[in-house]
Amino acid sequence: MKMERSGSPVLIIITGPTAVGKTSIALIVARHFNCEIISADSRQFYREIPIGTAMPLPAQLEAVRHHFVAFLDLHEKYDVSIFEQQALTVLDKIFQENHLAILTGGSGLYIQAVEKGLDQLPGSNDEIHDQLVNTFTEQGIGPLRDLLKLLDPEYYHIVDLNNPKRIIRALDVCLSTGKTFSSFRKNQPVPRTFRSIKIGLNLPRAELHHRINNRVDQMIRDGLIEEARSVYPFRHLNALNTVGFKEIFEYFDGKMSLDNAIEKIKTNTRRYARRQITWLRKDPDVIWCEPRLKEVIDVIENALTKIDTSNF
C-alpha cells in the first residue's frame, strides 16, 4: 500500500549485520509501503562481483526500484562523500513523488553520511595517497597502523584497524595538513529535510552464525570461486580488499587450501558481523528487532504515527 501522509518525508533505514536478512526484509517493506530502495552497501556498488557481495537477484531488482546497485566498475574511484551527495540528490527526486523511501545496507559510514552527514575533511593528496596504497600493497596494514598510532593516537583507538581504506584516508589528511585527522572530526549532524526511522535487524548469535555459514556455502555453490578468478588480476584494488575475495586470492596464491579458505571466509564474516553490531549499538536512534516481517512493519508504522503527531 502507499501511505498517504502529510508533513516532512521520512527515510526508513533498515540495517544490521551481514546475512541477517536486510535485503529480503527491505524488499517486502518497500512493496508494503510502495516506495523505492537506496542501497548503502558499498560492496554491492560494483557490477563485477554480484556473488561475493550477495547482491539482490535480478527478480528482486525488478520487483522494486533500487538505486546504487551494480552501478560502478571496479576501477572507478568512489568514496562515501560522493555517495552522500548522489544519494541526497536521488532522495530529493523520490520525495517529490513519495513521502517514504528506504535506505538499506550494512555499511555504517555510508548510512551515517545520508542520515546525518559527514564532517568536511580536506581533499585527498594524490601523491601521498598513492604512496600509502603502495605501502599497504607491499607491506600490509601493519606499517600503516603504526604510523597512524604515531600521528593520531586518538583516531587510532577508535578506527576499525582492519579497514585499510579508513586508515589510509586518515593518514592522507595527517600527512597533507600536518594536523591530526581527529581535529577535523566534529561529529555534528547536518540538518536534513527528512526524518529518519532507523531499524536495526539482529538475531541470536548462534542463529546469525548459522546464516552466515550457510550463505558462504551457497556463494561457493553459486560460483564465487569463478567470480574471484575473473577479478583476480585486479586484486590490488580497494574494492576487492574485502572478506570473501581476500581469502580466495590467498588460495589462488597457494597460501592455503580451498577448504581452509572457505572456513576462513566464514570466520572473518562472523567477525565482520560483530563489528557491524558494535557500530550500531553506539547509536541510540536504532530500534532493534528480529528480521520478522510483521514485527518490522509494526515498528515502522508505529514510528510513522509518532512522527505524524510531532513537530519537525
pLDDT per residue over 181-197, tens digit each? 988 887 778 899 999 99
The whole-number pLDDT of residue 118 equals 83
- Would you say residue 261 lies in a domain? yes
Residues 51, 150, single domain; the answer is no
Q: How far is CA 207 from CA 21, 53, 291, in A?
A: 12, 20, 12
Residues 114, 144, single domain; the answer is no
**What dihedral do alpha carbons 81, 85, 87, 93 form, nearest 10°?**
180
pLDDT of 311 above 60 = no
pLDDT of 158 above 90 = no
pLDDT of 1 above 50 = no
Q: What is the mean pLDDT of residues 28-40?
A: 97
Residues 108, 145, single domain; the answer is no
- Would you say residue 2 lies in a domain? no
pLDDT tens for each residue of 227-244 = 999 999 999 888 898 999
Domain count, the chain: 2
- Phi and psi, residue 197, nearest 5°: -120, 120
User: In the listed set 163, 184, 205, which residue is the last one of a domain according to the structure?
Assistant: 184
pLDDT of 78 above 80 = yes
- Would you say residue 1 lies in a domain? no
d(CA 23, CA 105): 8
d(CA 197, CA 11): 6
Q: Which residue has the cell 540538518?
A: 191
Residues whose CB falls within 8 Å of the CB of residue 194, separated by 6 or more in sequence, listed in order:
8, 9, 10, 11, 91, 95
pLDDT tens for each residue of 80-130 = 889 999 999 999 999 999 999 999 999 888 999 999 998 777 888 889 999
Band the pLDDT of 5: cuts 50, 70, 90. low
The whole-number pLDDT of residue 308 equals 72
pLDDT of 41 above 50 = yes
Q: What is the mean pLDDT of residues 128-135?
A: 92
The whole-number pLDDT of residue 312 equals 43
pLDDT of 6 above 60 = no
Q: What is the mean pLDDT of residues 272-295?
A: 94
Provide the b/e sequence for 36-61 (b: ≥16 CB within 10 Å): bbbbbbbbbbbebbbbbbbbbeeebb
Q: What is the mean pLDDT of residues 56-70?
A: 96
Residues 159, 290, single domain; the answer is no
Residues 97, 164, single domain; the answer is no
Q: Which three cell numbers stand for residue 221?
A: 555453490
Q: Which three cell numbers stand for residue 290?
A: 528480529
pTM for the structure as a whole:
0.84
d(CA 154, CA 144): 15
Residues 140, 240, single domain; the answer is no
User: Mapping DSSP to helix (H, G, I), strand (E, B) and coil, where does residue 72 land?
Assistant: strand
Residues 176, 194, single domain; the answer is no
Domain carrying residue 166: 126-184
Q: What's 133's domain CATH number?
A: 1.10.20.140
The whole-number pLDDT of residue 137 equals 86
User: In the listed set 184, 203, 223, which residue is the last one of a domain according to the structure?
Assistant: 184
The whole-number pLDDT of residue 309 equals 64
Q: How far is CA 238 from CA 84, 193, 288, in A?
A: 19, 33, 31
Residues 40, 92, single domain; the answer is yes
* DSSP-assigned letter for residue 46: B
The whole-number pLDDT of residue 92 equals 97
Residues 166, 75, single domain; the answer is no
The whole-number pLDDT of residue 3 equals 47
Mean pLDDT, all residues of the chain: 93
CA nearest neighbour of 39 among 52, 27, 51: 27
Band the pLDDT of 26: cuts 50, 70, 90. very high
- Would you say residue 14 lies in a domain? yes
The whole-angstrom distance between residue 113's C-alpha and the CA centroid of its chain comes to: 11
Q: Are 195 and 8 in contact (CB under 8 A)?
A: yes
* DSSP-assigned letter for residue 200: E
- Would you say residue 3 lies in a domain? no
- Would you say residue 4 lies in a domain? no
Residues whose CB falls within 8 Å of the CB of residue 139, separated by 6 or more in sequence, listed in order:
none
Q: Which amino acid is at 180?
A: T
User: In the listed set 159, 184, 209, which residue is the last one of a domain according to the structure?
Assistant: 184
CA nearest neighbour of 17 among 285, 275, 299, 290: 275
Q: What's 55's domain CATH number?
A: 3.40.50.300
- Would you say residue 5 lies in a domain? no
Residues 16, 31, single domain; the answer is yes
Band the pLDDT of 37: cuts 50, 70, 90. very high
d(CA 36, CA 30): 6
Q: Which three cell numbers stand for residue 257?
A: 587450501
Q: What is the mean pLDDT of residues 55-82?
A: 94
Residues 218, 92, single domain; the answer is yes
The whole-number pLDDT of residue 174 equals 95
* DSSP-assigned letter for residue 56: P
* DSSP-assigned letter for residue 310: S
Residues 70, 134, single domain; the answer is no
